[in-house]
Amino acid sequence: MAVKPKVFVTRILPDAGLSLIKQACDAEIWTDPLPPPYALIRQKIISCDGLVSLLTDKIDAALLDAGPRLRVVSNFAVGFNNIDIAAATQRGIAVGNTPGVLTDATADMAFCLLIAAARRVVDGHQYTQSGKWKTWEPLGHLGQDLAGRTIGIVGMGRIGYAMAKRCHGGWDMKVLYYDVFKSEKAEKDFGARQVDFETLLRESDFISIHTDLNEKTRGMFSTAQFKQMKRTAVLINSARGPLVDQKALVEALKSGTIFAAGLDVTDPEPPLMDDPLVKFPNIVIAPHIASATFGTRNAMAEICARNLIAGLNGEKLPAWVNPDVENKRRKAGVN
């Protein structure tokens, strides 16, 4: 009987993917609810051929160097900011992610947060739970109208497009977008208009962030940007927490510089319980659950497993972050 490749899986995944991994690999699975410590992952991969990681796992050059047999890192996420891609490529290690399958689920959550924050749903729910609701109030819990307003999309990729589709098709919103690339599809389908960042900030009633996190976008929403937004504006972030300067957001919400915010991601995650952000009535914070549907997580798990198995077999990954590694392997004569 052939010896199965050894892998370390940093969390329990949906069975749609985990069963595939168990069948093809000698898999050790971290079962604690919290992520394994960095030092433990580094220790585990010393004897591993593959690694399944999450966004909460830091995969840097030092960790990769600890695994001389490591051939593939399969990330259970679309994003891969937790992985040093250049270091992995340099070492001939394939990296996979799970794009495409969570587009609709994430766009649904972004719009869910938009409605909840704009119409003060959570604030109203807490008002009811506390026993304060005594009668219908003509001036109580006033929120923002949605129909016919302007949505600003920061990052018109797959998820940004899906969010624009919901806003334009369902609520007849005008669509502005800020992106380094022109989206002819969004312009044709929704009459979207590509604008500079400052114009988007000034003219949008709602701003939804769907851009990558990198050194240029880190903290792109801070005090100066909030001051350019409408006082009635609602900010939605379902992308990455560090895109928003959280201290500046606290001040903007506290001072009424903007009306409200809806977040599925924070910096750090989770936010500290003494962070004033979690106490404000004009914010909705979800625990990073944009992809949390049965169908989406199952599909992510299956892609993650197939990336892992393909990398272990020296094959092309279904979703390959660093396909250049194949050329490096060929030059080195490695399968």
| Residues belonging to the active site | 240, 269, 288
Tokens at 222, concatenated: 């801070």
Distance from C-alpha of 329 to C-alpha of 34, rounded to nearest angstrom:
35
End-to-end CA distance of the chain, in Å?
Answer: 21
Residues 6+ apart with CB under 8 A from 115: 121, 146
**Residue 293, CA distances (Å) to 76, 100, 147 in order:** 15, 14, 27
Over its C-alpha atoms, the chain yields an Rg (Å, rounded) of 22
Q: Please state the separation of Cα 268 from the chain's center in Å.
A: 14
Distance from C-alpha of 51 to C-alpha of 209, rounded to nearest angstrom:
30
Distance from C-alpha of 266 to C-alpha of 257, rounded to nearest angstrom:
20
Distance from C-alpha of 110 to C-alpha of 114, rounded to nearest angstrom:
6
Torsions phi, psi of 106, nearest 5?
-70, -40
Tokens at 16, concatenated: 């749609």
Distance from C-alpha of 19 to C-alpha of 40, rounded to nearest angstrom:
24
